[in-house]
Structure 1
């Protein structure tokens, strides 16, 4: 995969789809690599005429190490990467998953002229009165931020996938093991996971600013999300004044099966504001 400079950092990215298509930027969750995105979802978007841009967030995957950043900085990265990779795109659509949704919202606030639409997947406004993550989700997140042996790191990742999976989309043990092993071999960066967690907990709150986002928005929430329950989706949709879709049986985890299901909502949503040349 290619890399590209943005600011003082280097970012690994992948771009698929027709060269003149509207751009959908995929923004990942904490500690995730660009490989987290289901191929089924990316292919559905590309086959529908979109350029699909995924990238490793700073401190994750094969992108540069960084220190002392916040979610606003990650939003700036997203816009800079999109401008560098697809310089002719006047505006972009963003699909943000988990922490990536929080980054996407900040991009919408900071760059309203560049963001055409936002789809927020299993994310949160961060409002203080919302339900808290389960203890298993918290302890699992902390566990993958600690440097351990390869077998232990893979076991911890598999366990977090198990905890995060909903009853309707349980990860097959062999599939989970294959994902954990492949991601470890591509890039093992627990210190980056820790800094992502710090960025989320130390960033300024924007929940009371979300009504200023004027682009088209869609909120998709899972019925069995151990991090952000259904009330987080209700809250986001209310603040953004947009539609909320609940995925029954889903948890806080992505899979190929779920990617196919999500594409049925995301392809028509992004197509609404498609630019006609």
Structure 2
């Protein structure tokens, strides 16, 4: 898988489709890797006429991991002491700018899921000239809305697994807990995904540092009111990890944003809903073309 130097880091990425087509950048979430965007989902986007780019955020997958980023003290960060925060969501957004520079792309359609939605929002705020359209999926404007259920919140502070079998079992249990109750994924699919992610790279400390970035980053509501690009917000009505109020707040903050609420969807990308999610993305990019 290729990588590029971006914002002083090495970012691993992959592309699908025709480079002559409009570029569509996919940004994944907390502790996620580019493979968390399902291959077939990406292929279907490419078939819609997009040049699809997916990548590993810093501190995840095959992108740069730096020991000097240290171990964040989450309790202290929540209490207001941010001395152990290694980076913010704005830094992850700056990584995107560096990635686009390295790929020679001036402007892209941006799609972000979960923390990736937060990064996509921040990138749109910080680099408005580089965004043709924004799609924020199962995300939020900040920590005051979209709060997780107690059961879902518990998985965010789960201790690292001691071995592969335990890590895979924990990942499957988490996927089942936060996933779509209306569209439960087959057990074998959850196991396959968990094994693939573990074998590519298991890096729970990076997940903790990304979580620290989420907690320490400022609320985006006021900044999102200045966004002028076509925006669609997709959210599951049954999402327990970032509850629906997060999506509602995002759509309310961005002028003219469309909110698409999907019944039965939790905090994942269930295969039966791909047509509706892809349609929402495509329709929003068409608004950008007419913008």
TM-score under structure 2 length normalisation: 0.89
Q: How many residues align?
A: 272
Distance 1:274 1:79 in 2: 21
**Structure 1: 5+ residue stretches without partners:** none
Kept in 1: contact 2:100–2:106 (CA 8 A): no
Kept in 2: contact 1:108–1:118 (CA 8 A): yes
206, 211, 215: which one aligns with 1:197: 211
Tell me the equivalent position of 1:232: 246
Kept in 2: contact 1:39–1:256 (CA 8 A): no
Correspondence 1:258-269 to 2 at 5 A: 258-269=273-284
SS in 2 for 1:57: coil
**Structure 2: 5+ residue stretches without partners:** 70-85
Correspondence 1:149-168 to 2 at 5 A: 149-168=163-182
Establish whether residue 46 from structure 1 lines up as the match of residue 46 from structure 2.
Answer: yes
Residue 259 (structure 1) shift: 2.7
- Cα deviation, 1:220-244, whole Å, max 9, x if unaligned, reads 1101001222222221111112110
Correspondence 1:124-135 to 2 at 5 A: 124-126=140-142, 128=144, 130-135=145-150
222, 226, 239: which one aligns with 1:212: 226
Correspondence 1:81-230 to 2 at 5 A: 81-85=99-103, 87=104, 89-126=105-142, 128=144, 130-143=145-158, 146-230=160-244
Establish whether residue 244 from structure 1 lines up as the match of residue 259 from structure 2.
Answer: yes
- Cα deviation, 1:153-211, whole Å, max 9, x if unaligned, reads 11111111001112112121111111111110111111111111111011122222210
Kept in 1: contact 2:180–2:270 (CA 8 A): no
The 1:7/1:223 distance shift into structure 2, 3 A limit, reads: same
Tell me the equivalent position of 2:22: 22
Establish whether residue 253 from structure 1 lines up as the match of residue 268 from structure 2.
Answer: yes
The 1:210/1:62 distance shift into structure 2, 3 A limit, reads: same
The 1:131/1:261 distance shift into structure 2, 3 A limit, reads: closer
CA RMSD, Structure 1 to Structure 2 (Å):
1.7
TM-score under structure 1 length normalisation: 0.93
Distance 2:263 2:271 in 1: 16
Tell me the equivalent position of 2:73: none
- Cα deviation, 1:56-92, whole Å, max 9, x if unaligned, reads 000000001142111000000012112212x1x3311
